[in-house]
Amino acid sequence: MLKKLFKKYHEKWAKEKFIFFLSNVKPEKGETILDLGGGNGSYMDRFSSSLKDYNVVISDIDEPSLEKARAKGYQTYKIDASSNDLPYGDKEIDCIFCNSVIEHITIPKDELWTERSKCANFKKEALEIQKKFAAEIIRSAKKYYVQTPHRHFPIEAHTWFPFISYMNRRLQVKMLKQLNKFWVKKTTPDWNLLTEHDMKEMFPDAEIIVNRKLGIKKEIIAIKR
C-alpha cells in the first residue's frame, strides 16, 4: 500500500515538473531537448503527445538503457561515466532537461559501498564532481532545466525513508544496507543531496527556484531561459 501511494504521488509530481519545464523554459518548435540522464526514455514517454514538435534526445551512462530508448525511436548519446563529460560542442544543445540526476553524479558506482563512500570526505569529493558536471551543462546548452531534491526535505527521495538525509555519510550507508533487506524502496548510496546555496554556486547564470510541499523545501530547480 505504501509503495502504491508513493508511486501515485511520484507520477503526479513528474507531470507537474514537466509542465513547469515547458512553461518556464519554453523550448521552441523544432528545437532539440536533451533528456540528460534519461535512461531508457521512460520519463519522456509520458509526454510523447506534447513532444511531437521537438527533437528529443536521450543521454545516459547506461548502454542497456540507451538500447531500449533507441528501440522506442529515440536518438541517443552515451556519456562517459569516468569523466561525465558531455559529448557536445559549446551551446550545441538547444535545451537540456536534467531531472533528479545531478545528485547521483558522485564517485564511481563500483565504490559506493566501500570505505571511500563512507568516509567524511565523500560529500566534499562528490560536490566537486557535481560542480564539474554542472559546468558541462552550462557549456553545452543554450537553455537548461536542472532539478534536484532538496537535502532538507524530511522524506528522502531515493529511499522514501524519513530523515535519512540528516544522518552522517557512514551511518547512511550502514542504514541503507539494512533498509534494502525489508523496505519498500531499495537503492544504492550514490547520491549527494544539495541545497539552494550549492545550486547557486554551480549554476551562477541561472534562476534558482525552491519548490515546497506543505511549506517544506522539497526540490531545487536551476533554470536558464
The cell numbers describing 148, all together, are 534536484
pLDDT score of 6 more than 80: no
- For the chain, how far is it from start to end, CA to CA, in angstroms? 40
Q: Which 3-state string (H, E, C) describes 161-197?
A: CECHHHCCHHHHHHHHHHHHHHCCCCCCCCCCCECHH
pLDDT score of 217 more than 80: yes
Distance CA(97)–CA(89), nearest Å, equals 17
Over residues 163-208, the pLDDT tens digits come to 999 999 999 999 999 999 999 899 999 999 999 999 999 999 999 9
Which pLDDT score, from 0 to 100, does residue 82 have?
Answer: 87
Superfamily of chain region 2-107+128-151+193-224: Vaccinia Virus protein VP39 (3.40.50.150)
- Give the residue from 206, 98, 202, 197 showing the smallest Cα distance to 150: 197
Over residues 25-70, the pLDDT tens digits come to 999 999 999 999 999 999 999 998 889 999 999 999 999 999 999 9
Confidence of residue 213 (pLDDT cuts 50, 70, 90): confident
Contact 98, 37 (CB under 8 A): yes
Does the pTM surpass 0.75? The reply is yes
> What percent of the chain has a predicted confidence (pLDDT) above 90?
82
Distance CA(11)–CA(25), nearest Å, equals 21
Residue whose C-alpha cell reads 503526479 in the numeric block:
12
